Amino acid sequence: MKLIFALVTGLVFGAGIAISGMMNPAKVFNFFDVAGTWDPSLAFVMGGAVIITFIGYRLVWRRDAPLYDDRFQVPTSTAIDARLIGGSAIFGIGWGIAGFCPGAAIPALGTGRWEVALFLVAVTAGFYARRLIGATQTSAKAA
C-alpha cells in the first residue's frame, strides 16, 4: 500500500509539474528574463503550490503520525551557513543555464525527450562531485 501511495503521489506531483509549465525550459528562462521576453506564469505555480502545502501540512500535522510510517520526518536545522547559501546560489546558476530543475526534469523524463535524460545524468554527476569534496556529508536526505 505504501508503495502504491508513493506512486500515486508522484503521479499527482508530476501531473502538476506538466500542466504548470515548469518542465518547459523555454518558460523557465522567460520567467527569469524580466529584461526580455518575460513570462510571469511560473510565479502562479509557486503561489498555488505554497498555498495548498501551507494549509495541507497544518491539517496533516494534527495527526500523531503519517499513514504508513510511525513519525513525521521534517528537517529541524535552522543553520544559515555557507553551504546553504553557496549551494543555493550555485543551484540557481545551473538552473539558469539548463532551464531544468530536478523536480521538473524527473516528470519530464516521461515525455521521452533525450535532453531530459542527459540533464538527469549530469545532475547525478553533480551529486557525486559534491560527495567527493565533502567528507562531512549530511545533506543528502535533508530536502
Choose between 102 and 135: whose C-beta lies nearer to other proteins. 102
Question: According to the binding rule CB under 8 A, does residue 135 interact with other proteins?
Answer: no
Choose between 37 and 135: whose C-beta lies nearer to other proteins. 37
- Tell me how far apart the alpha carbons of residues 86 and 26 are, in angstroms, rounded to a whole number: 26
How near is the Cβ of 135 to other proteins at its closest, in Å? 13
Asked whether 65 and 71 are in contact (CB, 8 A), the reply is: yes
Residues touching other proteins, count (CB under 8 A): 120
Question: According to the binding rule CB under 8 A, does residue 113 interact with other proteins?
Answer: yes
Asked whether 105 and 28 are in contact (CB, 8 A), the reply is: no
- Residue 21, Ramachandran bin (φ over 0: left; ψ between -120 and 50: alpha; else beta): left
How near is the Cβ of 64 to other proteins at its closest, in Å? 11
Closest CA to 20 of 40, 47, 41, 51: 41
72-111 binders of other proteins (CB under 8 A)? 72-75, 77-80, 83-111
- Tell me how far apart the alpha carbons of residues 12 and 18 are, in angstroms, rounded to a whole number: 10
Question: According to the binding rule CB under 8 A, does residue 26 interact with other proteins?
Answer: yes
- Which set of grid coordinates corresponds to residue 56? 495541507
How near is the Cβ of 100 to other proteins at its closest, in Å? 7
Residue 60 CA neighbour count, 13 Å, CB half = 13
30-69 binders of other proteins (CB under 8 A)? 30, 32-37, 39-42, 44-54, 56-57, 59-61, 63, 65-69
How near is the Cβ of 18 to other proteins at its closest, in Å? 4
